[in-house]
Chain A
């Protein structure tokens, strides 16, 4: 029963095991459910063990029970494409007028239709979504907030619930396993005696017992725990694209290293200004100012980037490469604030040191100790992060 659903879930990278699937089958055979909505909740409770996978589950559910192919990756690419306003030009006058007339529901329906058709015919893909992809779609059409049926909690159809895709923001996937970098990062630790006194101090115990004329006298101490908190800031896009694979390795190594007390990561493009981004696509931003206020100065900061840009991007007001960034503080000042706020910062540069004579690289190199993003450079850099200033 529903065996295909199992494989769709696995395909969507929901880690469902046979054990869990058998549990679901057992529950079904006992007749606990009477409609699809109950099935939706029952299967989710049994099969999905993290809110990070709720969205994948919704996508799989939608696909299996509706029969429409909507791979999340493609949808995201489409959203990207939609954001680019120049694409609107590909519409004819007539088409534009047609879309402007449609109300929201119609837009959604039209968008879904096109989406379905697009996956069916490979070549015409861009054209179809192009016609469907005026910005109203991107923002209110496909996005879950647009489809959301507000307030109504009872009696909704299960597919509709799945369609809302409310758990998209909880997704956390994509990791590569890179042991070498992980081993290097392991050096990044600072063992402090914290927490309750629960470790037997054998030496002291023997001493105390002897002094106590052989009567046992226990001495306890706190155990050692790693107190290192890491903030990773990565340059993405543009001139960094050739190094993307290298950065993603560093990222996955740091991300899967479980020994840090805290690990945060943010993205920027070329230089840091008022905001840093939470995702590679640089859609969601967080203010740099806020970051400096919220994060304690004992975070170890690793900046990754080629530090190569036009000089005015670094030194001029409104110099940011993205004209809409409109930074009234030059990037160099922002970088200095970061260097001043945090006690330990390093800059990892994927380019070889022989290319570091570029003026912006030199300027940034004065603010942050710069190392090459190689195993040796990483080791050196981590040594720098550990020592006291």
Chain B
């Protein structure tokens, strides 16, 4: 076994499965970006934070939106500022360099130490977005046209890319990545995760809550199934409210922390027969 392979061992605030840890180490050893997919709330984004903390490296986060262009991650040439300065400013507009602003990718390349780079929710962007970054992620190098300069990474950043599979990613991009799919944690792993967040939680409360939680997840027909972050919110609410254990599974207090959509909430209420048919119930009823 090579010594510098098992670099990442997790961090105290993040519970990691063996296979994921393996994928992280493979991607670091080979210097290839790690592509992470999985249900919402399985800790895709937090993984990058954990790597940064675990290896004591700085983290650069590039949040992708539907309007994000690949170029923005490298650098932006602020022409508007320059135009403004040429009219009213007192700066020397012939020095273009001062109007070149490095994006997150550019900053990660030029950092003096190795950093962790998180490209969050890459599938939110345009379908061509990943293709535009192929060379940059592969060679870790890009060229600034305006000042005729090449920026190359001093240290290859540890790149983590998350995706919710809203769009199909291009094959050429996938070929260059290491891939891992995070499954929804089973009850045992979930218990471990909860204990990291709420170390003082009582065993019987946690046990009861987890049983209820997984039962709720099995109900078909929720538009958004409750996930880890909702569970933790709920447990916090239960502790803060001082709810006795026996009420947890019977009443499911603070259900609003688990079900975030109105239709899910209504569905839950009618299913458990807690609500007399109101307006919504009536229209629902006529269908039968």
A residues with a Cβ closer than 8 A to B are: 15, 17, 19-20, 23, 26-27, 30-32, 34, 38, 41-42, 44-46, 48-51, 54, 151, 153-154, 166, 195-196, 198, 258, 286-287, 289-290, 292-294, 329, 337
Contacts and interface: CB of A to CB of B under 8 A. Distances in A.
6 contacts: A42-B26, A49-B35, A54-B181, A153-B189, A154-B18, A289-B287
Contact of B32 (A17, A23, A198, A337): A23
A196 B288 CA distance: 42
A377 B127 CA distance: 32
A69 B3 CA distance: 38
B66 A153 contact: no
Contacts of A48: 179
A19 B186 contact: no
Given A153-B18, A153-B189, A289-B287, A15 B178 contact: no
B20 to A, nearest CB: 9
Nearest to A197: B67
Contacts of B176: 19
A19 B284 contact: no
Contact of B37 (A19, A46, A51): A51
Contacts of B37: 51
Nearest to A155: B18
B168 interface: yes
B211 interface: no
B144 interface: no
B171 A15 contact: yes
A38 B22 contact: yes
A42 B25 CA distance: 9
A17 B170 CA distance: 14
A276 to B, nearest CB: 13
A26 B67 CA distance: 37
Q: Which of A54, A289, A294, A329 has the most CB of B within 10 A?
A: A294
Contact of A294 (B29, B127, B223): B223
Given A32-B2, A45-B180, A19 B267 contact: no
B30 interface: yes
A331 to B, nearest CB: 15
Contact of A46 (B1, B26, B186, B221): B26
Contact of A153 (B1, B17, B67, B220): B17
Contact of A337 (B35, B174, B287): B287
A45 B2 contact: no
B188 interface: yes
